[in-house]
Structure 1
């Protein structure tokens, strides 16, 4: 799945000369938290988001710093703060340090990008022109469309399910040894003694992702040998 498969193409945009008040109203009434900013030539020049409009003098949310912190700040930082709090045009408050993606960008890379940059959306461009936006909401909607995997192991094949669970944990340092995984009537019994809550959760999830497993039972005592079962 790629950006072109999940992106929003009907994008609400702002222009650099738009007033801050109109930009805020547009986001409020459209139910969005940010907009790409497009110049008259159709070029993407920035993003304006809720974060850019949070600190405003007119509503009393400007940053208040002690005199000694202000004395340590550079004049450049102080000037930038003043502009963010008082400017009336989008061009002066928008973020220009933006990252973009192409339509062919895989969704896995998009998720990594949103997480690493701590942003909620990323513009999709073609030949420098905006063609869409992929947001966190788009990724969540994509999850809804995924068809659940069909059972890959025949019903009644406990040995096959056991192997599939072991494969699901392969390569992970928290993986259980073979003797700690027992499957009976499609119920996975996992013996994860002396493990952290996070490791036990990962072990349980690995088993739950195996198609055909009906239930996962976590045990805190050492397992009996498979022969005893």
Structure 2
């Protein structure tokens, strides 16, 4: 899927001389956590986010160091921090080094960038101009559209075949030691695994197949070092409720 299919457009932007208070109000009013900063021609020059407002003099949250750390910190860095915690316009607190993405990029590229740099949003640009923005919430909206419909009515044989096909594609279960049997929409997983983490992975694989109502875990874990077999964990019995007096 392409970025242009899920991005928010047009993006809400601010100018570099927008007051910090106004930028904060725009974020609150529109329930967004970041704003691209553009010049008079619409060219992207930075981005301002909630994170840029965490260390503020008004909140007494400016960064404070011990006298020893302060001594070893360069005056330039301290001066830069002062500007960011006391600046009155967006251009004084914004981040200038902005990661962007093209509308024709695949969404996995956006996820890679967000994950690598720990960011929540990417301005979508064409020839330097902002045409939209893609945020984590946009990815969630796309996810909702693709999650399987659990109300789907499917034959047990088809469900079973789909689970087996999914397991056969995964390197952790390709050995074929996990068996599947579906009766009335309940998928029973049996067989053996050599790593406990495969148990949850197999359960998730089954849960994602349309028509599965429940997953019954009957998988046995075999210790790869000692060869000891451990049966599937059983759910604790629910305590009986005392009758009301």
Normalised by the size of structure 1, how large is the TM-score?
Answer: 0.84
Aligned to 1:206: 205
> Could you tell which deviates more after superposition, 79-88 or 178-187?
178-187
What displacement does 1:171 show?
Answer: 5.6
How many residues align? The count is 220
Mapping 1:1-229, distance limit 5 Å: 1-146=1-146, 148=148, 155-157=155-157, 161-170=159-168, 172-175=170-173, 177-185=175-183, 187-191=186-190, 192=192, 195-196=195-196, 198-221=197-220
What displacement does 1:189 show?
Answer: 2.4
CA distance in 2 between partners of 1:14 and 1:74 (Å)? 32
> Could you tell which deviates more after superposition, 164-173 or 38-47?
164-173
Check the 8 A contact 1:181/1:188 in 2, yes or no: no
Structure 1 unaligned segments of length 5 or more: list them: 224-229
- Residue aligned with 1:65, SS: coil
User: Structure 1 residues 156 and 39 mapped into 2: Cα distance closer, same or farther (>3 Å)?
Assistant: closer
CA distance in 2 between partners of 1:128 and 1:179 (Å)? 53
Check the 8 A contact 1:44/1:129 in 2, yes or no: yes
What displacement does 1:21 show?
Answer: 1.7
**Bigger fraction of residues in helix:** 1
Structure 2 unaligned segments of length 5 or more: list them: 222-228, 230-245
Aligned-residue Cα RMSD (Å) equals 2.8
CA distance in 2 between partners of 1:53 and 1:147 (Å)? 36
CA distance in 1 between partners of 2:12 and 2:87 (Å)? 22
**Residues 19-67 of structure 1: per-residue CA shift (max 9 Å, x gap):** 1122122212222111000011211000001111111112211111111
- Residue aligned with 1:100, SS: coil
